[in-house]
A = this chain, B = another copy of it.
Amino acid sequence: MIYLDSNATTRPHPEVVAAILPFLSEFWHNPSSGYRAAKRVRAAIDEARGRVAALIGAEPSEIVFSGCGTEANNMALRWLARWMGADTGHFITSAIEHSAVLRPAEALEADGCGVERCGVDAAGRLDLDAFRSACGAARDAGGGFASVMWANNETGVLQPIAEACEAAKECGLAFHTDAIQAVGKVPVNVRETPVDFLSVSAHKFHGPKGVGALYVRGGTRFEPMIRGGGQEAGRRSGTENVPGIVGMGMAAELMRRQLEADGHAAVRAMRDEFEEALLARIEGTRVNGDRDRRLPGTSHISVEGCEAAGLLILLDEAGIQCSAGSACMTGKQRPSHVQIAMGIPPDRAKSSLRFGFSTFNRPGDVGAAVEALDKAVKKLRSVQGPPGMGPVEVRTL
């Protein structure tokens, strides 16, 4: 099998698995206990916290470990809504956020919070004018907060976070970013881009599932969503997921080294080669989203005249694992909200596939994937009939 769905989840790195094991079998003590064995466990959490902090340019004390990235988003947004007064505040976000931001936004809206979802251009990048205008309106209406994702989970398109953060701050709004797809893949530095809150998920960068983190800028007011024993300096109670945290720390360390070494150049090269070959070989294909300002491993492709559902079955049979949109959307038949926001017509949206390359792909995967996709497209078109038009002009949207 060739795994090309690394935006859905990533294979835990063998060094991550190796780092986890002793904390299941040997160092399993409660880190809050007083005896020496427990202090060794506590030290491992401290080391992991430092590694996650280093990956995003934060201080260790600014990292709050959580049960997943979705929890990190929820704890940030709930607190911000409470801080700002949920029923009077204003929440500015984008139309292309992950459901882990959109669903909490709907819940806040139901409680009376004004929610503004700013659009994106055809390349999938936030409409900064609309965003600035919404921030200004929120300021004039009494304040609020904003959240924009660092990179989109379907297209991989990087958002103008520095500009959005600056615009929000100029209007006195607190700023959160869902950086779950970005961290570990591209440079993310909270000193250079002074966001107030930032969400991370370990399993998106070769760490284990079941652990994430929320960056909370030092000095920022914060109250917890989960209360109890006071772990994570009172910001997220519950006995720490020690194996998960240690694994996340190791994954962060490996990603930091790789980013510093070559910025995932090999992953980017495979992805680019894949797109070139695919566009050249299979007519009626195009790449969606900004091709320059994008995660190194993500490729979002439309295949004219082929429904994604059929392609996915044929690709799976041929040993290629990829997806249509996000994993969370699998099985849902409505076209992706991200593509709708980009102005992609529903027909093309339903013919879109997402490929996600990672450090575990090999150059040979590229040819195999293009070959399999070519066969699948031919098979589906032979059943469904050829595309209505000739080859679609390939543009950088």
Known: A209-B241, A321-B29. A37 touches B1 (CB 8 A): yes
Minimum distance in angstroms from A45 CB to a CB of chain B: 11
Q: Contacting chain B: which of A6-14, A157-165, A387-395?
A: A6-14
Q: Contacting chain B: which of A221-229, A267-275, A279-287?
A: A221-229
Minimum distance in angstroms from A261 CB to a CB of chain B: 24
> Cβ of A323 and Cβ of B34 under 8 Å apart?
yes
Residues of B close to A48: CB separation below 8 A: none
Q: Does A24 lie at the interface of the complex (its beta carbon under 8 Å from any beta carbon of B)?
A: yes
Q: Does A33 lie at the interface of the complex (its beta carbon under 8 Å from any beta carbon of B)?
A: yes
Q: Which of B8, B32, B37, B231 contacts A32 (CB 8 A)?
A: B8
Task: Report Cα–Cα, A37/B8, bound state, in Å.
Answer: 13
Minimum distance in angstroms from A78 CB to a CB of chain B: 8
Most buried by B among A20, A35, A330: A35
Task: Report Cα–Cα, A238/B67, bound state, in Å.
Answer: 8
Q: Does A103 lie at the interface of the complex (its beta carbon under 8 Å from any beta carbon of B)?
A: yes
Residues of B close to A35: CB separation below 8 A: 5, 312, 316, 321
Q: Which of B29, B106, B209 contacts A243 (CB 8 A)?
A: B209
> Cβ of A71 and Cβ of B12 under 8 Å apart?
no
Q: Which of B8, B30, B67, B73 contacts A67 (CB 8 A)?
A: B67
> Cβ of B33 and Cβ of A210 under 8 Å apart?
no
Q: Which of B25, B33, B38, B327 contacts A30 (CB 8 A)?
A: B327
Q: Which of B24, B104, B321 contacts A37 (CB 8 A)?
A: B321
Residues of B close to A5: CB separation below 8 A: 29-30, 33, 35
> Cβ of A203 and Cβ of B33 under 8 Å apart?
no
Seen from chain A, the residues whose Cβ lies within 8 Å of a Cβ on chain B are: 1, 3, 5, 8-12, 14, 17, 20-21, 24-25, 28-30, 32-38, 66-71, 73-74, 98-101, 103-104, 106-107, 201, 203, 208-212, 225-231, 237-244, 312, 316, 321, 323, 326-328, 330-331
Can you pick out 8 interface pairs between chain A and chain B where the beta carbons lie within 8 Å of each other? A38-B327, A70-B227, A100-B238, A104-B228, A203-B239, A210-B210, A210-B243, A229-B326
